[in-house]
Amino acid sequence: MRVGSLQELKQLSFWSRVLGWLSIIGWAVFIAALIVYHYARPEHDTILTEIFGISVRQHWHITLGDLFVLLLMLGLLISLVTFTINIVLFSQHRQHLWINTMILICTFLGGLAIYFFAF
């Protein structure tokens, strides 16, 4: 049986599949949070806005800002659940650690820090 074959995929345990799906859902929530962040953040002044006298929003859009925080919290929760399942599932061998889950946790915490402390 070659590596990555269909038979090998069918032999994956239930929890390994759960880890995979939770990781995909976590990244999807992160992408949704990035899209909401783009529209919720304060706009920055540029030379063109100063020349033409265009007013820019200097504050967070309230509704989208709340949605951004909600998405970050949801993604952080999903990532922490995935990390916990990973620790419990592979605690004996420590041969299989999902790095993308740790990256997601750090990015969600960074996003929360940006929202609460940077602006």
Nearest to 82 by CA among 21, 5, 4, 38: 21
- pLDDT digits over 14-35, tens only? 878 888 899 999 999 999 999 9
Nearest to 34 by CA among 114, 88, 118, 89: 114
Residue 56 DSSP SS3: coil
pTM score of the predicted model = 0.78
**Alpha-carbon torsion 98, 100, 106, 109, what sign?**
negative
- Cα–Cα distance measured from residue 83 to residue 105, given in angstroms and rounded to the nearest whole number: 9
- pLDDT digits over 60-110, tens only? 888 988 999 999 999 999 999 999 988 887 776 666 667 889 999 999 999
- Measure Cα distances from 74 to 8, 12, 39, 93 in Å: 32, 27, 19, 29
Which pLDDT score, from 0 to 100, does residue 15 have? 78
